[in-house]
Structure 1
Amino acid sequence: MNENLIQHYPVVIVGGGQAGLSTSYHLRQQGIDHVVFEKNKAMHSWETQRWDNFCLVTPNWQCELPGHPYAGPDPDGFMKKDEILSYLKGFRAAVEPPIREGVSVRRVAPQPQGGFHVSTTSGEVTADAVVVASGGYHEPIVPRMAERLPADIVQIHSAQYRNADQLPAGDVLVVGSGQSGAQIAEDLHLAGRKVHLAVGNAPRCARFYRGRDVVSWLADMSYYEMSVDEHPLREGVRDNTNHYVTGRDGGRDIDLRKFALEGMELYGVLRDYDGAELIFETNLTQALDGADRTYNGINAAIDHHILENRIDAPPASVYEPVWAPPTERPRLDLASSGIAAIVWCIGFRPDFRWLDVPVFNGAGHPQHRRGVTQREGVYFIGLPWLHTWGSGRFGSVGRDAAYIVDHIAGHMAARTGQATQGSAA
């Protein structure tokens, strides 16, 4: 292969979501030539991996993509799926990225002379720097025990769920109570379906407290400015499950205990299937209590902030459980349960096998500091808690991109300087 015929880009961005296009925006601001490779379409996952009634769980005013802040009529509301897609379409139009859609990156490897060789489905290119903007949610997780379930049970992952009507008549088992699981369980419940929910250890928070959205209070308390280095858990916070809450119908709490009062069946973590019965951990009480403890703890921190700053606000309150499991149910006979479908809401695993560069730890996770790896020229953007809470969302991904692009510009200036010195010598 004649390397002289291979097209060269100073920067290759892998991924055309909000993280990749935020990086493109800042590269354009600094006049740095680049290309964005996106294996599907820009913002693909927002259109194809969200259910019909999906909406943001953070208020619209927190949508601050670079050069394209939210400017709609409802800053305190929560954009629905079609509004999100419209917002992102406007962002793409504003950025005008040099994007090549339908192009997958197969391999990125270092070159002996410096820089990187990038193999794609449309050919080979080289780059001085590579920005990994493909996120960390690549492969839907479905446990191997799913293979042993009866063939007439319809099984889908949360990424495939659209609405209650796509599932056959009968009860639905939702496995997992993180943001997606709790909201999909609610969506099915509101549609009149009988829901069985296997509850995990996800925490929850209030939607509104003492007269304001909890997000607004936490923003005032600088919670969203806290870096991963400042967080008590340090890098461990990246493994945390997000709090469940919803922006649906103007925003409200998700209270699984209330759902139980209304007929939803709650269980502990689903552990196995023995050929006849589903087997659950007896940790439901512990999980519900833990979620409520987090809920009340966040509110207590807001109480302290209000008191310390002498803010006039409605009185404080403490959540009191409206329901408790009468007994733990470790087993459920599948044949007699009425369950006709299962929605797996237990997350995704990353897949960075195409990145043939030693920037990963023993667990296969990227090692970086604010997106900058120890390998010069390799960067990550858009991962949860890359730097702050907002790193994987519309809130702070633009600031993360600006930081990385500044680093890229410095890296290129240093290389140019070294080349100039070498020529002079």
Structure 2
Amino acid sequence: MPSHETEVLIVGAGQAGVAMSEHLTARGVPHLVLERDRIAEKWRTGRWDSLVANGPAWHDRFPGLEFDGMNQNAFASKDRVAAYFEAYAEKFDAPIRCGVEVKKVIRNKESSGFIVETSDGTITARSVVAATGPFQKPIIPALVPEDSNVQQMHSSSYRNPQQLPDGVVMVVGAGSSGVQIAEELRRSGRDVILSVGPHDRPPRQYRGQDFVWWLGVLNKWSAVAPPKGAEHVTIAVSGANGGHTVDFRALAASGIKLVGRTESYKDGSLRFSQDLARNIANGDANYLSVLDEADAYIQRNSLDFPEEPEAHVLGADPDCVSNPTLEIDLAATGITSIIWATGFAVDYSWLPTNAVSENGRPNHQRGVSAESGVYFLGLPWQSHRGSSFIWGVWHDAKYIAEQIMIQRGYLEHLGSTTPDNGIETTGQGDTAGPVPTAADAYAL
């Protein structure tokens, strides 16, 4: 690819990059999307075979397109989700180039904007949107040595039970991924131990409505920051097998052994925190609080929803919670594999220094970077609780597009939006007529 110039370069063609491209296309902003793999690649190859979306099809989508040919209350498979984003990009002819990796973004010292080094040439761009999402570098805690005779993998490398050696499987992490993988392994006949940390546990459905609906009408999706102390609390919810409420008591009854948060390793043994009962209780409290708020909402709005008193009954704690195991000898217990469902770290080392903080995290407000001209999209809690969900990223992309339009409006005052230096311009949507001013952008 020869040298090109585009007004906005979007890095990544997952849900964030596709959403960003749609909003820029609608506003006539020339842009280009670069994707090192394929559109929505993480949905294709970055998860296990049986993964489905955690929200029903009517909710986990963009406003401009429904999932075709499926029950809108069902949960789309990962392949259906990937196909959805491909179809969405085709709908507005998104200028996406696959198989091109961005290596470095450098501030252009001779002109405005940035010089972007890629695996297929150099691109000059006035603005750059980092739409690579939060799932970049799998985190495996450095606890169990590689020579421990135990197969270790991150949840992003797990595909199905058949890839694991015979023996007991340890799953570390009880968010959506860890719980669903542990359930699948147990249904396949495997003995499973699940390490449970702090978590929220919403009801999958209550009184006829899915939890995504309840979080919407109760204004929980709109929360702009996690509660203090809950920044790293995961959400235990599942769309698998038609969707169901995650119930750790039911998991224990199915034969899964629950232990507390994994703390350390020594002499062939894993040690666990004494927090299992507390983590279960806090998850229960979160679950019951949603039920109580839902009941109050129904009464306040005089809704004729079916009663569901049994949802409030939790039952007794299983023995593994009342009498927790604090240490397990891996060999003696027969553990042959460990799946670390312990989340991801980000890697923005390819961006200019000011765009990231000292710990490598994005330095931004609502996706607008401290490095002028750099934007982030697809981050957890970028602007609200729903930011990293499919529908939430679409709305965050709209905000970033508005910020780009505001900057275009200011530049119009100088009589130009894109410098004409003879370099070929890529992207689509050349503007016809005057460029919107800042005031126009605020009115979008």
| TM-score, normalised by the number of residues in structure 1 | 0.91
Residues 1:286 and 2:278 are matched in the alignment: yes
Pick the aligned partner of 1:321 from 311, 315, 325.
315
CA contact (8 A) 2:151 2:336 kept: yes
Mean CA deviation greater in 283-292 or 74-83: 74-83
Q: Relative to structure 1, is the Cα distance of residues 148 and 52 closer, same or farther in structure 2, using a 3 angstrom cutoff?
A: closer
Deviation at 1:381, TM superposition (A): 1.0
Q: Which residue of structure 1 aligns with residue 158 of structure 2?
A: 161
**8 Å contact kept, 1:178–1:242:** yes
Report the alpha carbon displacement of residue 70 of structure 1 after superposing the two structures with TM.
3.2
- Partner residue in 1 for 2:64: 67
Greater than 4 Å deviation, 4+ residue runs: none
Question: Given the alignment, which residue of 245, 249, 254 partners 2:246?
Answer: 254
Q: Deviation per CA, 1:72-117, whole angstroms, max 9, x where unpaired?
A: 4411111122322332232232132222212111111212332111
For 1:48 and 1:125, how far apart are their aligned partners in 2?
28
Q: In structure 1, what residue type is equivalent to 2:403?
A: H
2-structure distance, mates of 1:42, 1:420: 33
Alignment partner, residue 98 of structure 1: 95
CA distance in 2, matches of 1:117, 1:416: 22
Report how far residue 352 of structure 1 moved: 0.5
Structure 1 counterpart of 2:245, which letter?
D
| Mapping 1:276-425, distance limit 5 Å | 276-315=268-307, 317=309, 318-324=312-318, 325-419=321-415
In the other structure, the counterpart of 2:227 is: 233
Counterparts of 1:355 and 1:222, CA distance in 2: 35
Deviation at 1:279, TM superposition (A): 1.0
Checking the alignment, whether the CA contact within 8 Å between 1:22 and 1:398 is kept in structure 2 is: yes
CA shift digits 1:5-57 (9 cap, x unpaired) = 84211010011111101111121112211111111111110001111111111
Superposed counterparts of 1:35-184, under 5 Å: 35-65=32-62, 67-112=64-109, 113-148=111-146, 150=148, 152-184=149-181
Aligned residues: 412
How far, CA to CA, are the matches of 1:256 and 1:74 in structure 2? 28
**1:332 alignment partner, SS class:** strand
Q: 2:208 aligns with which of 211, 219, 224?
A: 211
| Match among 243, 258, 262 for residue 266 of structure 1 | 258
TM-score scaled by structure 2? 0.87
Distance change in 2, residues 1:92/1:252 (3 Å): same
Q: Give 2:293's aligned amino acid.
A: A
8 Å CA contact 2:39–2:82 kept in 1: the answer is no
Render the CA deviation track for 1:213-265: whole Å, top value 9, x for unaligned: 222222223332x151xx5738x77x343321111222111212211122111
Q: Structure 1 residues 227, 334: closer, same or farther in 2, change over 3 A?
A: closer
Cα distance in structure 2, aligned partners of 1:241 and 1:363: 20
| Secondary structure of residue in 2 paired with 1:37 | strand
The one-letter code sitting in structure 1 at the alignment partner of 2:288 is N
Bigger fraction of residues in helix: 1
Determine helix, strand or coil for the equivalent of 1:9. strand
Runs of 5+ consecutive residues of structure 2 not aligned to the other structure: 420-444
Gapped runs of 5+ residues in structure 1? none
Separation in structure 2 between the aligned mates of residue 92 and residue 319 of structure 1, nearest angstrom: 46
- Following superposition, the deviation at residue 350 of structure 1 comes to 0.5
RMSD, matched Cα? 2.1
How many percent of aligned residue pairs carry the same amino acid? 35
Q: Deviation string for 1:332-380 (max 9, x for gaps)?
A: 1111101111111000001101101403334332132222223331111
Query: C-alpha distance in 2, partners of 1:211/1:176?
Result: 29
Letter in 2 for 1:115: G
C-alpha separation between the residues in 2 aligned to 1:319 and 1:173?
A: 29
CA distance in 2, matches of 1:181, 1:388: 24
Rounded to whole Å, the distance in 2 between the matches of 1:63 and 1:72 is 15
